[in-house]
Amino acid sequence: MRLVTIGSLGASVALGLGAIIVARVALPDTGKVQAAQVVVSPMANAVSVVVAARDIAYGERLDAGHLKLIRVPKDAAPANAFASVAQVLAQDHGGAPVALTLIAAREPLLPAKLSGPGARPSVAAELEPGMRAYAIGVNDISGVGGHALPGDRVDVVMMRNMTPEGPHKMLTSQLVVQNVRVLGVDLNADPTSTKAEKPSTTTLEVSVKDAQKLAIAAELGSLSLALRPLGASDVEPVAEVASATPRAPRRARASGAPSGGRITIVEGENSAPAASAKPAA
């Protein structure tokens, strides 16, 4: 009787161990299942976003071939992104939009990057808040030989003849505005352009006050551009220099303030001997 009991207990233990082994081998690990669910869970809230199917050039008119729809996690979708291709192509009463900037392949389409139907690329869309686009007349010399391209930064210099009717010549040169962005050269406003132009006009991004300065300066004298190095944002101190009455014989005298001020040049009979510098207000 005792042997039967011991045998039964042994069989029960063996069956229990077998059940544990089968459970570990055959049944999935709950921890691993939960981890797998965590990995895929972000796509459970995925949303549709329209991206460029290929590189889209500045000024290119869009059609369905330019666009494709992808799914991205909701938290990764850009604000104001389009959710369907039809929504892009019907941006303004069904008109095909135009790219206002270079859009790279797989880059999301955003309203700020597109114009309305039938429109050509708009410089107005490139302006920073509070800024204005102001055009000045230039030539291949005053326009830096055509090397000032959209996106570059320049200073604007005014040269003025103070004695247009007299027997002597007195010229002044003064920085009018500094570190302003070139928006366009003639009708080229493409910021990706690398081709130098022979310009007749250059459109600059300036404040309202600087636009007023440029308007007055253009009437007083001739304007020219000075191209700034990439990344240079320093603004030189500006001072005013006034010359005295000309009187020295046939000399040329230049007097200048600190860099960024006005330079006065006098030449001819009875040229000026003296100059005084006065900081600008």
Do residues 88 and 65 touch, judged by C-beta distance below 8 A? no
Question: What's the fold here for domain 44-118?
Answer: Type Iii Antifreeze Protein Isoform Hplc 12 (3.90.1210)
Q: Residues near 125 by Cβ (< 8 Å), separated by ≥ 6?
A: 100, 112, 115
Q: What is the pLDDT of residue 201?
A: 85
Work out the burial of residue 119: count CB atoms within 10 Å of its CB; fewer than 13 is exposed, 13-18 middle, 19 or more buried. Answer: middle
Centre a 10 Å sphere on the Cβ of residue 44 and count the other Cβ atoms it contains: 9
For the chain, the domains span: 44-118, 122-235, 236-281
In which residue are the tokens 């045998």 written? 7
Cα–Cα dist 85/103, whole Å: 16
Cα–Cα dist 187/155, whole Å: 21
Q: What is the pLDDT of residue 98?
A: 83
The pTM for the full model equals 0.51
Q: What is the pLDDT of residue 205?
A: 93
Q: What is the pLDDT of residue 241?
A: 42
Tell me the average confidence (pLDDT) per consecutive run of 10 residues in the chain, 281 residues long.
62 68 62 56 80 88 90 88 88 74 90 68 74 88 80 89 78 87 77 66 91 91 88 68 42 42 55 42 38
Q: What is the pLDDT of residue 275?
A: 42
